[in-house]
Structure 1
Amino acid sequence: MTHPPATTRPRTILYVAATEAAASDGATALETVETGPERSIRPATTVERVRNWAPAVDCVVFAETPTTAAGSNLLEVVEACGSTPLVLFSDPSYAPPAARSTDGIDGYVRRDTDDAVVHLADEIEWVCRGDDESSGSTDDGEATNDQPVDRLLESVPEAAACDDRDRLFDLLVETASDVLDRDYCWLSTVHFGDFTPRATASGLSADDLEPVAREGPLEEALRTGEPIRIDDLAADDRLAVPLEGVTSLCCLPVGDAGVLQVAAENAGAFDERDCDRLAAWCRFVAAILERIDAEASHSTEREQLRRERDQLRTERDRLADERDELALERDRIATENERLAAQNDRFQALFANVPEPAVRYEIDDGKPIVRDVNDTFVDVFGTAPETIVDEPVDEAIVPPGLESRRTTLLESLRAGECRQLVSRRETVDGVREFLLTLVPAEAGASGRNADGGNSDGEDNPAGLIVYSDVTDANRHERELAAAHHRLETIADLVDEDVRSPLNVARGYLELAAETGDEEHFRAVEDAQEQLRELVDQLVAIARQDDVIVETEPVAIHDVARRAWVAVETGDARLVTQTTTDRVLEADKARLRELFEHVLGTVVDSAGTAAPEADDGAQDGEGERTDPATQVVTVGATDDGFYVARHNPDADRRVVDEGLETDPVPGRLAAGDGTGFELGTVERIADAHGWNVGVAEDDDRIAFAFRGVESVDET
């Protein structure tokens, strides 16, 4: 067996532990070990640091137990080490056989032994030998210089220029073999707690040598740096015979890398001078090893610094880009603020110059809030500003009749929609009709932000509500409509009713002139009497004022029941249902007159006589109608109301559920030409702006009034 020698070169080692404190303490303890050369120990805790530093160090120490949670990264550390030797410094729970069977582990030391850190230092020197089997021998032939010192000096430049550990080890062995002219020369380094052959002379193979336990004289030589010379191995049992036939042995430490051993077959083959020369050569080689390790460490540090520099440059560029983006965003916000300020100034000027009553609102947390009212609003409605300013847009701003549509109104304000609503409200001069206009600060934005999302009004934070008085305009419009209707009625009477008597009178005058018969003169007199009556009717129509001047909210069921008691209805029964009631703006007296005419016509068409109105059916709780009794139903449709007579035998559903939205059982015709005297009904409907039609068949008749606006519609 061979025992490894010792060297005196500083060695770079990476000490890996689970925590910073454990790594730092372990590195300090290993660095202060007196045996072997000086050491430069670097603590580490992460696999990334192992991967960065492994190429630049001689050895990596994994100071954790692989079977514990802390040691679960052993395989990652093995992979990160690459070709750099790895020594496992572990508890006895992880036995040496297990360590040797794990690929990538080059050395093993138990932590529970005495002087465990010293043994670790020795093991590190052994593992640095590696697995190479390079011969390290020089070419065969005679030495060019017969003096050993000259041979050493010849090798100095090559050794000084060497930057590879294995090549330096080969040169160390080759030179020592030449200097002493010995074939048996080899270098042993620490590997798995043993001194293992790392480089051999040309006349020797590593297979001829066996690893030697670290404990013993070789460990002492590595620790103290003192050589060992044995003249007769048979007489000196400190070391076992490494090779068959070998008698004497010289062992010299090479820093902390390992032990150089030279053997000879004859006894006393080495003297003090040989030991001194080889010791000097080993110290020189140890210094070169230290320089190689330092350069590798510096190279790794430079690479690390380069990567850190690149990372800092990348971070600098990223921050510069963010700075530029923030500057652009700041300029955009400043521009937007200027635009909003200019818009606000224009908006304030508009509000101040609006000649009609106006309210300025703002959207605050999704709710329209009153911020100001102009003087005209105060004068027209007699409302003190402090009672509504900074209050939500509620009953003080929402006109009467819009309560059921408040949600739609508030959504329109939040969405910035331009919209108009017609309503009536109380003023200091009485009830007036207004066209209510919503004017957002940015019309058309529809409450949506730049990316298409709903901004809950933040894109339209303000707006105006303007009241335009349309009372006189609506009244004038109704006057024109009534006058137009009267003219049409006169034209129709002249064309249909006046022309016929004139033609009759002309015909009888011609007969009277021809025959002289007095009977013909009486016919002419009758025709003239008829003409006078028609002329009086035309005069009445021309002088009649069908313009609806004042209206009020009226419930159609209430007016219908009042008209019912004033009409001869016989056995017919009136059915009204609360669910089909409608409140509309109308002249109450004229509307009652309309219902009296329509109810009378409906009942007369069935030939019935009159009981009292059935108010109990309004709530759907009265007694069920006699099947033989005609039923008159009054209800609301989508755009108006209807009056219908039904035969219960033909349609019982009408009694229980009321008439459907569009009651057209047969033909639907205008009031003219139906056979019903509906002139008054049409005039009243026209005065209100409604359309009237009649649907009739054998069992039913219905009058439908359309174009009717309820007071709760916008």
Structure 2
Amino acid sequence: MSRDGTPPSATSRPRTVLYVADTERAASDGAAALEAVESGPTRSVHAVTTVERVRNWAAEADCVVFAETPTTAAGATLLEVVDACGETPLVLFTESSYAPTAARSTDGIDGYVRRDTDDAVSHLADEIEWVCAGAGTVADGPERESESEPAAIALAGDRAPSTDRAAERLLEAVPELAACRDRDRLFELVVETVADALERDRCWLSTVNFGTFEPRVTTSAIGTDELSPLPREGPLEGILQSGEALRIDDLAADDRLAAPLADAASLCCVPVGDVGLLCVAAAEPDAFDEADCEVLSAWCQAAGAVRERIDDETGRRRERDRLENQRDRFRSERDRLAEERDRLEDERDRFRALFANVPEPTIRYETEDGRPVVRDVNDAFREVFDVDPESITGTPVGEDAVPPGLEHRQTALADALRSGERRQLVSRRESVEGVREFLLTLVPVEPDPERDDHNPEGLIVYSDVTAANRTERELAAARARLETITDLVDDGVRTPLNVARGYLELAAETGDPDHFAEVDEAQELLRERIDELAAIAREDDVLVETEPVAVHDVARRAWVAVDTGDARLVTQAPNDRVLEADKARLRELFEHVLAAVIDETAESEGGTDGGGGRDDGTSETPPVVTVGATDDGFYVARRASEDADEGSPATEPVPGQLAAADGTGYGLGTVERIADAHGWDVGVAEDGDRIAFAFRGVDSADDGPA
């Protein structure tokens, strides 16, 4: 029910209230209780526990309720909440320990209700309506009929001449009253007109503030500190509910209400709508009669109608301003999004221009459902690999970037693309110029941190490193040849020269011709070393082409080409090792190593009769040659039989650099040069009838990142 006893009308929108408490439970329970109050308009009450939420939502609310006692720890945020409310009115719903006087002295508090009284929540609902009405908010309900002129002041029955004069003066002021567009001016006009019409200088209008009726407008005859506030409880609350005037003929004899003025003997109080009271006091008892009350009630009803119209207009203005502010925010957000869209489009255009102008073959990819797919290729990619862009657009990146036979690299490539890190991978693939080696550079585009729906994208640039790798191998081979020549000069040339010089000196001293034979033999050895140096200088140990090669397969093919006698070949490890190598040169390396191992076997056994046994007619267990993989390469080892111990040194050769003429007697200069051309190290170990050659620093063909 409304204050005049009539049921509330249907609402255009509910009253929006923020209920602020320290805990979620207190805020939720309080909001539910306030929303359940049946009196007044429909309310939509939201539980709030933080100042930040008040700041974000206050502009959209009609009122804020602070439901904590400011003198407690839970109510310590009162001033912050007041600041966050802005222009939205705030009602303090507190324990009685925080008195109205303290609340009244705090700026920004518009209403006060004690929480520890009966029907406290109902009083809170009434206070919210008082505060919202005083702030000029939209009164809930459809358009009131107050848009029309206020009701005419009409009186029935016999009246005193003074009452007739008062009614006439009030009627004359009705047009000015109806023309009011401001609350304060309306209240001033109500008081001024009544004081003039009744010829009473003790007249004022009070509105509810913190549970009492505080003077809002007074005549000039009332001093600033002369008028005391009137309590809301008691008979004054009753006349607001009933809408009827209260007349006290003798304040001294009537205990219903204390005299608001020191010299007041009688009093007439009339409700002005549901927002306040118009009070007229007289120094003599029985100064007012029923006719006076009727005239004042009609005048205040008209003023109340005008006040409702002003509130409606003010409310509509506020609602219009709120909607305009919201519209402006939407426009600002729209403009911001448009700017962001333009920025992203510019960035996309720059990215695509960069992509189109990259001189090297390039793929543009995007991540779709967690899988990188090809979105476009540039002209260089199309020309180098002779592909139709439409044939690979939309396909997974790994299927095109990884050559056949090395599909396991697709996982490494996909992981690198999903990680969004700049990486490099080595790949070989067919081009219009044949199989070429490429260095793949993954260039991810930095994601936009403000976009959650952004799919990672980037470029894959193919850099042809075939010539660079070949040059690097040529330089490595040349360095190896120079080192070999240096070693041969030091060990194979300088020694015979020294020998020849020594014998020439002896021949000169003794004249013995046998010394000249020794000189001739040293010169013959010197010629052999010079021929060997010339052969090394003419050798071309450059790797023309490398490809994935299986170690065990090449070893078995080399075994067939070598005279192995009755020796047996055993390949170790269940999985064959695949490495990048020149297949022909690797086979040549195995042939030399296997031949050296077989020859050493024959020599260690004292010679063969062509059948693998001793020439004295006794038989021996045939030796076993093992080819296996290590963590960083492969090895070739020989042991006397399959029953011999497989431990060191056969499977644990000591690494070291072999020389072509290092005194081992194996003649492995060609082996070392082939290893050098591949960038490998060669090690050898020997123990009795066991010997092993190890090749280390070997890059496996399934190594992904460069």
CA 1:160/1:704 → structure 2, altered by over 3 Å: closer, same or farther? same
- Structure 2 counterparts to residues 631-646 of structure 1, below 5 A: 633-644=626-637
The correspondence for 1:405, drawn from 378, 403, 409, is 409
Distance in 1 (CA, whole Å) between partners of 2:658 and 2:240 is 119
2:656 aligned counterpart, secondary structure: strand
Distance in 1 (CA, whole Å) between partners of 2:453 and 2:682 is 45
Give the counterpart letter for 1:675 in structure 2.
T
1:331 aligned counterpart, secondary structure: helix
Distance in 2 (CA, whole Å) between partners of 1:151 and 1:457 is 87
Give the counterpart letter for 2:438 in structure 1.
L
The correspondence for 1:323, drawn from 316, 319, 331, is 331
The correspondence for 2:435, drawn from 429, 432, 438, is 432
Q: What's the offset of the Cα at 1:670? A: 1.8
CA 1:199/1:454 → structure 2, altered by over 3 Å: closer, same or farther? closer
CA 1:319/1:698 → structure 2, altered by over 3 Å: closer, same or farther? farther
2:4 aligned counterpart, secondary structure: strand
Q: Is the 8 A contact 1:14 1:43 kept in 2?
A: no
Distance in 2 (CA, whole Å) between partners of 1:699 and 1:561 is 23
- Structure 2 counterparts to residues 224-623 of structure 1, below 5 A: 281-292=289-300, 295=303, 299=307, 302=310, 306=314, 309-310=317-318, 312-345=320-353, 347-348=355-356, 350=357, 354=359, 358-363=361-366, 365=368, 367-369=372-374, 371-372=376-377, 374=379, 377-378=382-383, 381-384=385-388, 387-389=391-393, 391-393=395-397, 395-400=399-404, 402-410=406-414, 421-427=425-431, 431-438=434-441, 440=443, 446-450=445-449, 455-458=454-457, 460=458, 463=459, 465-466=461-462, 468=464, 470-564=465-559, 566=562, 568=564, 574-579=570-575, 581-599=576-594
CA 1:471/1:334 → structure 2, altered by over 3 Å: closer, same or farther? closer
Q: Is the 8 A contact 2:567 2:624 kept in 1?
A: no
Distance in 2 (CA, whole Å) between partners of 1:84 and 1:576 is 93
Counterpart for residue 704 of structure 1: 694
- Structure 2 counterparts to residues 70-109 of structure 1, below 5 A: 76-81=121-126
Distance in 2 (CA, whole Å) between partners of 1:206 and 1:578 is 112
CA 1:162/1:452 → structure 2, altered by over 3 Å: closer, same or farther? closer
Counterpart for residue 675 of structure 1: 664
Q: What's the offset of the Cα at 1:493? A: 1.2
Q: Is the 8 A contact 1:18 1:45 kept in 2?
A: no
Distance in 1 (CA, whole Å) between partners of 2:390 and 2:126 is 81
Q: What's the offset of the Cα at 1:496? A: 0.9
Q: What's the offset of the Cα at 1:333? A: 2.9
CA displacement, residues 317-366 of structure 1 (integer Å, 9 cap, x when unaligned): 34324423432442343244245435534543x25xx4x6x355342636
Q: What's the offset of the Cα at 1:556? A: 0.3
Q: What's the offset of the Cα at 1:686? A: 1.7
1:424 aligned counterpart, secondary structure: strand
CA displacement, residues 266-317 of structure 1 (integer Å, 9 cap, x when unaligned): xxxxxxxxxxxx9x93133133234345545655764675466445435533
1:578 aligned counterpart, secondary structure: coil
Q: Is the 8 A contact 1:575 1:631 kept in 2?
A: no
Distance in 1 (CA, whole Å) between partners of 2:322 and 2:509 is 125
Counterpart for residue 58 of structure 2: none
Q: How many residues align?
A: 479
Distance in 1 (CA, whole Å) between partners of 2:624 and 2:10 is 97
Q: Is the 8 A contact 2:681 2:695 kept in 1?
A: yes
CA displacement, residues 672-714 of structure 1 (integer Å, 9 cap, x when unaligned): 3583633222012123332223356789765332343333334
Counterpart for residue 683 of structure 2: 693
CA 1:339/1:700 → structure 2, altered by over 3 Å: closer, same or farther? same
Distance in 2 (CA, whole Å) between partners of 1:482 and 1:320 is 75
Q: Is the 8 A contact 2:239 2:271 kept in 1?
A: no
Q: What's the offset of the Cα at 1:558? A: 1.6
Distance in 2 (CA, whole Å) between partners of 1:203 and 1:531 is 148
1:13 and 2:16 are equivalent in the alignment: no
CA 1:396/1:331 → structure 2, altered by over 3 Å: closer, same or farther? closer
Segment of structure 1 superposing worse, 695-704 or 633-642: 695-704
Distance in 2 (CA, whole Å) between partners of 1:192 and 1:412 is 77
- Structure 2 counterparts to residues 177-192 of structure 1, below 5 A: none
CA displacement, residues 214-241 of structure 1 (integer Å, 9 cap, x when unaligned): xxxxxxxxxxxxxxxxxxxxxxxxxxxx
Distance in 2 (CA, whole Å) between partners of 1:450 and 1:457 is 12
Name the TM-score, length of structure 2 as normaliser.
0.53
Unaligned runs of 5+ in 2: 13-38, 46-61, 66-87, 92-117, 131-159, 167-196, 208-212, 215-234, 257-268, 273-285, 608-620
Q: What's the offset of the Cα at 1:510? A: 1.2
Distance in 1 (CA, whole Å) between partners of 2:517 and 2:382 is 71
CA 1:312/1:19 → structure 2, altered by over 3 Å: closer, same or farther? closer
Give the counterpart letter for 2:477 in structure 1.
A
If asked which structure has higher relative contact order (CA below 8 Å, sep 6+), I would say 1
2:437 aligned counterpart, secondary structure: strand
Q: What's the offset of the Cα at 1:13? A: 0.2
Give the counterpart letter for 1:434 in structure 2.
E
Distance in 2 (CA, whole Å) between partners of 1:703 and 1:199 is 125
Distance in 2 (CA, whole Å) between partners of 1:292 and 1:159 is 18
What value does the CA root-mean-square deviation take over the aligned residues?
A: 5.6
Distance in 1 (CA, whole Å) between partners of 2:689 and 2:299 is 121
1:490 aligned counterpart, secondary structure: helix
Distance in 1 (CA, whole Å) between partners of 2:308 and 2:6 is 16
Percent identical among aligned pairs is 39
Q: Is the 8 A contact 2:40 2:129 kept in 1?
A: no
Q: Is the 8 A contact 1:363 1:414 kept in 2?
A: no
Give the counterpart letter for 2:636 in structure 1.
V
2:430 aligned counterpart, secondary structure: strand
Q: Is the 8 A contact 2:624 2:639 kept in 1?
A: yes
Q: Is the 8 A contact 1:644 1:703 kept in 2?
A: yes
1:671 aligned counterpart, secondary structure: coil
Distance in 2 (CA, whole Å) between partners of 1:532 and 1:296 is 132
CA 1:310/1:653 → structure 2, altered by over 3 Å: closer, same or farther? farther
Unaligned runs of 5+ in 1: 1-10, 22-41, 56-72, 86-147, 168-185, 208-253, 258-277, 611-627
